[in-house]
Structure 1
Amino acid sequence: MIRNIMRILLGAFMILAAIGHLTFQRQEFQAQVPDWIPLSKDLVVILSGIVELAFGLAMIFWKRQRVNVGIALAVFYVLIFPGNIAQYLNHTNAFGLDTDNKRLIRLFFQPVLIIWALWSTGAWEHLFKSKRDAR
């Protein structure tokens, strides 16, 4: 029960983040796109918003692929982590993260999101069960 609530909550969080990417928070999200990405920052924000919307909907509604969605979302969180690191290293203010300490603390929340995605979808158990079965 609590796992399903947390999965739906994470899905809703992803949908809200997607709405922000596509509308009123686009500039703030652009501040997180590392300069070394060879695409326009706005395009990266729009594309990541579309991906986040898909993940949010999948987390809530795609029950048959729940484990795969959890793994894919965890990988997505790993892939966007360089943006958080870039925001810290470049001292970029966005989302109220206007000090190095706040930006540094935020970096520690990415692993929480990864674990949340894996745990709430049952992917955590699936991955560790597969490792145990392989022995």
Structure 2
Amino acid sequence: MKINTPTTTAQNIFRIVLGCLLLFTGTGHLTFVRHDFAAQVPTWVPLEADLVVLISGVVEILLGLSLVALGRYKVVVGWVVALFFVVIFPGNYAQYANHVDAFGLNSDSLRLTRLFLHPLLVIWPLWSCGSWKAAFGKKETTA
């Protein structure tokens, strides 16, 4: 698998937008929505909820910076960001299963809708970084 693959202008714009969103939410983890993020930490996680929020905030900031600045390694960054979104899914599910109001998601239908939209967060970095195409796209042949 290549660490870099050509991407379109649209893909690059979406990669940078996702990076900025992760920078914003990562900053939120550390500051103004820290309490809301703590409400999402599943009770089975063996760490204090606030520590999980702080760690995930730092990780989101690093991932956001990577999406914006590490264009040369975007294929690998895309896979790492997609994996991050898979790893945080249990928090979103816990918020739904435990009927926890946070981020304006004050009904089970809103929380359930977010669960069904979550796969888009996994697909976004794979597409915008060219990660999926680099791993599974049509292989170039030489004659």
Partner of 1:91: 99
Three-state SS of the structure 1 residue aligned to 2:137 is helix
Alpha-carbon distance, 1:126 to partner: 1.1
- 1:82 counterpart letter in structure 2: P
1:107 paired with 2:120, answer no
Q: Please, what TM-score do these two structures have when normalized by structure 2?
A: 0.89
Structure 1-normalised TM-score?
Answer: 0.95
Q: Could you say what secondary structure the match of 1:108 adopts?
A: helix
Change (3 A) 1:4 1:89: same
Q: Give the match's secondary structure for 2:47.
A: coil
Pairwise mapping of residues 1-135 of structure 1 onto structure 2 (< 5 A)?
Answer: 1-129=9-137
RMSD, matched Cα: 1.6
Question: Structure 2 counterpart of 1:3, which letter?
Answer: Q
Larger of the two Rg values belongs to structure: 2
Distance in 2 between residues matched to 1:23 and 1:41, nearest whole Å:
15
| Structure 1 pair 87–127 and aligned structure 2 pair: CA distance change class (3 A) | same
Name stretches of at least 5 consecutive residues in structure 2 with no aligned partner.
Answer: 1-8
Using the TM superposition, give the Cα deviation of residue 130 of structure 1 relative to its aligned residue in structure 2, in angstroms. Answer: 8.0
Instruction: Please give the alpha-carbon distance, in whole angstroms, between the structure 2 residues aligned to 1:132 and 1:41.
Output: 47
C-alpha distance after superposition, 1:78-116 (max 9, x if no partner): 000000000000000000000000000000121001110
The number of equivalent residue pairs is 133
Deviation at 1:60, TM superposition (A): 0.4
Bigger fraction of residues in helix: 1
Q: Where in structure 1 are there 5+ consecutive unaligned residues?
A: none
How many percent identity over aligned positions? Answer: 51
The answer to which structure, 1 or 2, has the higher relative contact order (CA under 8 A, 6+ apart) is 2
Q: Show CA shifts across 1:36-60 (max 9, x none).
A: 0000000000000000000000000
